[in-house]
A = this chain, B = another copy of it.
Amino acid sequence: MDRSFDNLDSAKRDRIINSALHEFSVNSYEKASTNTIVKNADISKGALFHYFSSKKELYAYLKSLVFKTMVEELEEKIDWNQTDLFERIKEAGIVKFQVSERYPDMIGFSMQAFAHLTTDEIKKQSMAYMNDLYMRIYQYNIDYSKFKDGIDIAKVITIVEGTIEKIARTIQQNVTVYKQELDTNAVIDEINAYMELFKNIFYKQSDRKRG
């Protein structure tokens, strides 16, 4: 990547990044069109290939940007002293949500990028890394003694993850289909409500309010 891209004012840079993320989210790498990217970013074809030497390089840049951004944001903004699982998960969810306010198609891009990795080895490696990161989120400093006896923690995590992703999908749908505006506080309130419900049903009586 030409360093001139980094010197662009951030509004223009984000316009290009978001346009590219969107195009690569909606289409496979091969079918994603640089023409569409420049049109939506409102720049000329030549400009794009001035910043990036090729489509492939643009794609690689986006991959590392997404990866780096996600990891850094999670590292920074998560309170790693938090011992309550549901509060931890809520924080991670909010971080992802905030990132997608700046880069709306980042998560879509990740999924598309992962689905179309070429070799199985690379897929397995990425999967392994993702699992590592998530294990840290779910385990580092977390107090599991609050849970009722006999509760299968792995299942709890599946349930909570599934629920949050479901909420995110529903919001996405409301925004794109019903043209609802995105109300950040409402989203956080909703996630909060679910987390309280989870505490109520999964924690021992005496631990319900401590979380």
Q: List chain A positions with a Cβ less than 8 A from chain B.
A: 26-28, 31, 115, 120, 123-124, 127, 152, 155, 158-159, 161-167, 170, 173, 176-179, 193-194, 197, 201-202
Contacts and interface: CB of A to CB of B under 8 A. Distances in A.
B31 A177 contact: no
Contacts of A127: 173, 177
A72 B6 CA distance: 55
A123 B174 CA distance: 11
Contacts of A165: 162, 165-166
10 interchain residue pairs of minimum CB distance: A162-B166, A162-B162, A162-B163, A201-B201, A31-B31, A159-B163, A123-B177, A155-B197, A158-B166, A161-B166
B167 A163 contact: no
Nearest to A126: B177
A26 B26 contact: no
Quickly give the copy total for this chain.
2
Nearest to A115: B176
A166 to B, nearest CB: 3
A158 B167 contact: yes
Given A27-B28, A28-B27, A202-B201, A120 B158 contact: no
Nearest to A117: B177
Contact of A124 (B26, B28, B177, B194): B177
A166 B168 CA distance: 13
Most buried by B among A115, A165, A166, A193: A166
A173 to B, nearest CB: 8
25 contacts: A26-B28, A27-B31, A31-B31, A115-B176, A120-B177, A120-B179, A123-B177, A124-B177, A124-B178, A127-B173, A155-B197, A158-B163, A159-B159, A159-B194, A159-B197, A161-B166, A162-B162, A162-B163, A162-B164, A162-B166, A163-B163, A165-B166, A166-B166, A201-B201, A201-B202
Nearest to A164: B162
Contacts of A155: 193-194, 197
